[in-house]
Amino acid sequence: MSTTSLLHTRAQLGIDAPAVQVETHLSGGLPAFSIVGLPEAAVRESRERVRSALLNSGFEFPQRRITVNLAPADLPKNGGRFDLPIALGILNASGQLKIDAPERLEFLGELALSGTLRPGSGVLPAALAARDAGRELILPAGNAAEAALGKGCVRGATSLLTVCAHLRALELLPDTAPPPCAGLSEDGLCLSDVRGQAQARRALEIAAAGAHSLLLRGPPGSGKSMLAQRLPGLLPPLDEQQALTVAAIHSLQRPRPVNSFRLPPYRAPHHTASAVALAGGGSQPRPGEVSLAHHGVLFLDEMPEFERRVLEVLREPLESGEVHIARANSQASFPARFQLIAAMNPCPCGWLGDPQRGCGYVCEKARRYQQKLSGPLLDRIDLHVPVSALSPMELTRQPPGETSAAVRQRVQAARERQLSRQGHLNHRLAGKALAPVLAQHQRWLEQAVARLGLSARALHRMLRVARTIADLAGSEHVAEEALAEALGYRAGETAGRREH
Q: What is the pLDDT of residues 260-312, one digit of tens each?
A: 888 999 999 999 999 999 999 887 888 999 999 999 999 999 999 999 899 99
* 79 domain-assigned: yes
CA 42 to each of CA 55, 77, 248: distance values in angstroms, whole numbers, following the listed order: 20, 9, 22
pLDDT given at position 294:
96
Mean pLDDT computed over 11-31: 93
Instruction: Note down the domain range covering 41.
Output: 3-167
pLDDT band at 2 (very low <50, low <70, confident <90, very high): low
Assess whether pLDDT exceeds 50 at residue 500.
Answer: no
* 445 domain-assigned: no
334 - beta bridge partners? 323
For residues 103 and 222, membership in a common domain is answered with no
For residues 290 and 159, membership in a common domain is answered with no
Could you tell me the CATH number of the domain that includes residue 336? 3.40.50.300
Q: Give Cβ neighbours of residue 223 (< 8 Å, ≥ 6 apart).
A: 194, 197, 200, 387, 390
Which residue type occupies 486?
Answer: A
- Please choose, from the candidates 267, 270, 313, the residue with its C-alpha nearest in 3D space to the C-alpha of residue 289: 267
CB 41 within 8 A of CB 17: no
Question: In the chain, how many domains are there?
Answer: 2
Q: What is the dihedral of CA 452, 455, 456, 457, to 10 degrees?
A: -110
pLDDT band at 1 (very low <50, low <70, confident <90, very high): very low
Rounded Cα distance between 374 and 367, Å, is: 12
Angle at 207 between CA 309 and CA 237, to 5 degrees: 105
358, 391, 425 — which closes off a domain? Answer: 425
Q: Mean pLDDT check: name the lowest of 118-122, 169-173, 192-196, 340-344.
A: 192-196
Phi, psi of 215 (to 5 degrees): -120, 120
Q: Mean pLDDT check: name the lowest of 27-36, 137-146, 164-173, 364-373.
A: 364-373
335 - beta bridge partners? 322
For residues 99 and 242, membership in a common domain is answered with no
Select the more confidently predicted residue: 359 or 303: 303
425, 456, 479 — which closes off a domain? Answer: 425
* 471 domain-assigned: no
For residues 339 and 404, membership in a common domain is answered with yes
For residues 395 and 307, membership in a common domain is answered with yes
161 - beta bridge partners? none
pLDDT band at 24 (very low <50, low <70, confident <90, very high): very high
| Average pLDDT over the chain, rounded to an integer | 89
For residues 111 and 237, membership in a common domain is answered with no
Could you tell me the CATH number of the domain that includes residue 81? 3.30.230.10
Rounded Cα distance between 229 and 236, Å, is: 15
For residues 408 and 344, membership in a common domain is answered with yes
pLDDT band at 496 (very low <50, low <70, confident <90, very high): very low
CB 387 within 8 A of CB 222: yes
Rounded Cα distance between 221 and 466, Å, is: 30
Mean pLDDT computed over 311-339: 88
CB 26 within 8 A of CB 93: yes
For residues 130 and 242, membership in a common domain is answered with no
For residues 139 and 233, membership in a common domain is answered with no
pLDDT given at position 401:
79
Would you mind telling me the total number of residues written for the chain in this entry? 500
pLDDT band at 437 (very low <50, low <70, confident <90, very high): confident
For residues 99 and 150, membership in a common domain is answered with yes
Residues 443-482: pLDDT tens digits? 888 888 888 888 888 888 999 999 999 999 999 899 999 9
Q: Mean pLDDT check: name the lowest of 282-286, 332-336, 351-355.
A: 351-355
Residues 30-77: pLDDT tens digits? 999 999 999 999 999 999 999 999 999 999 999 999 999 999 998 989
Assess whether pLDDT exceeds 60 at residue 498.
Answer: no
* 226 domain-assigned: yes
- Please choose, from the candidates 384, 377, 216, 382, the residue with its C-alpha nearest in 3D space to the C-alpha of residue 301: 216
Assess whether pLDDT exceeds 60 at residue 494.
Answer: no
156 - beta bridge partners? 139
CB neighbours of residue 75 within 10 Å: 15
167, 200, 221 — which closes off a domain? Answer: 167
CB 155 within 8 A of CB 173: yes
* 476 domain-assigned: no
For residues 158 and 199, membership in a common domain is answered with no
* 296 domain-assigned: yes
Rounded Cα distance between 219 and 387, Å, is: 8
pLDDT band at 211 (very low <50, low <70, confident <90, very high): very high
* 492 domain-assigned: no
For residues 285 and 413, membership in a common domain is answered with yes
* 454 domain-assigned: no
